[in-house]
Amino acid sequence: MIINEENVKKRLDVFVSASLEITRSSAQNLIDIGNVTVNGRVESKNYKLRLGDIIEIEELEPKILDCVAENIPLNIIYEDSDIIVINKPSGMVVHPAPGNEGGTLVNALLYHCGDTLSGINGVIRPGIVHRIDKDTSGLLVVAKNDDAHIFLSSLLKDHGIKRTYHAIIIGHLKEQSGTVNAPIARHPVDRKKMAVVAGGREAITHYEVIEEYTGYSYIKLNLETGRTHQIRVHMSYKGHPIIGDTVYGGGKTQFEKVNASLLDGQILHARELSFPHPRTKEIMHFECELPSNFSTLLERLRKL
């Protein structure tokens, strides 16, 4: 491609993103690994294009993921012909992705449900309406047909699904209850992380303190929006990261080091889930117990 006057002074990553119709982070990845050249040379992502520059792009071959049924035990809280509510354990990925192509919740659901899952999200994410992080445990609802999926997705968009999480955080919040309203986007430097960024997507988290201990707090949180890593980012932004969350500032205290065997990631649990049933419109409410490691950590904190 030869740069014309229209594209002069554009950043290289912006041009590649628009040309290939891919995300800017994907374009930056192509540039970083040397798959984009300018006049035969590798340039940085922020290179400003000049008139007559010759851009050559070598796209990565997409890796086709094959999602197969796997006989993995599921903790099923509720199931009917429209929905299935699962208590996901910490350590389980929700759907296949490069690096996590098997052992996921979707693999287990395909074995359990056969071909009855909603097909709206394609072969990799059948039935998946919302997700929780790999190392977050707790409740999520899966759609077993397209009508249920459309209804639940619309509810989620309009904040009609109530999701309540429990967490243990470092330190004490200034107020016993409150709201964090801070926009979230990709971290400007570390693209694997999210961060509070001006101009990011609206993100609102409500919190309430349940118990306080020496140097730590047990809290519950309600999501008004559902951004990637939202609770973890918001708690870190407030200066109170979730214990065990080494990505967003946890994992450094003496209590965490002493109790490392109980920390398999952030201590964050999706404990309650409420929504109208897709068919009957009856309000469904589900609640699950805290994982054993979570409960043990609380017992130890009470003794500090």
Same domain, 178 and 205: yes
Q: Which amino acid is at 114?
A: G
120-128's contacts with Cβ under 8 Å and 24+ in sequence apart are 120/146, 120/149, 120/150, 120/153, 121/149, 123/67, 124/65, 124/67, 124/95, 124/96, 124/97, 125/94, 125/95, 126/67, 127/84, 128/94, 128/95
Whether residues 165 and 264 fall in one domain: yes
Chain-centroid distance, C-alpha 72? 22
| pLDDT at 74 (0 to 100) | 95
Q: Is 150 in the same domain as 164?
A: no
Quick one: 139 and 27 in the same domain? Answer: no
At residue 188, the pLDDT reads 82
User: What pLDDT, on a 0 to 100 scale, did the predictor assign at position 12?
Assistant: 94
Number of domains in the chain: 3
Residues 184 and 143 in one domain: no
Kindly state whether residues 180 and 272 are assigned to the same domain. yes
How far apart (Å, rounded) are the C-alpha atoms in residues 241 and 187? 16
**Residue 186: what are its φ and ψ, rounded to 5°?**
-60, 140
Domain match, 196 and 273 both: yes
> Which stretches of the chain drop beneath a pLDDT of 50?
62-65
Which residues are marked as active site? 133
Mark whether 239 and 212 lie in a shared domain: yes
Residues 163 and 280 in one domain: yes
- Is the same domain home to 179 and 119? no
Q: Quick: pLDDT tens for 184-229.
A: 998 888 878 999 998 888 999 999 999 999 999 999 999 999 899 9
The range of the structural domain enclosing residue 222 comes to 159-304
- DSSP assignments along 120-184, one per residue: TTTTTSTTB-----TT-EEEEEEESSHHHHHHHHHHHHTT-SEEEEEEEEES--SSSEEEEE--E
Same domain, 101 and 39: no
Residue 299: predicted pLDDT: 98
Whether residue 167 sits in one domain with residue 152: no
Q: What is the 3-state secondary structure (H, E, C) of 22-75?
A: CCHHHHHHHHHCCCEEECCECCCCCCECCCCCEEEECCCCCCCCCCCCCCCCCC
pLDDT digits (tens, 9 = 90+) for 115-142: 778 776 665 567 788 889 999 999 999 9
pTM attached to this predicted model: 0.77
- Quote the pLDDT of residue 261: 96
Beta bridge partners of 221: 165, 207
Q: What is the CATH number of the domain that holds 167?
A: 3.30.2350.10
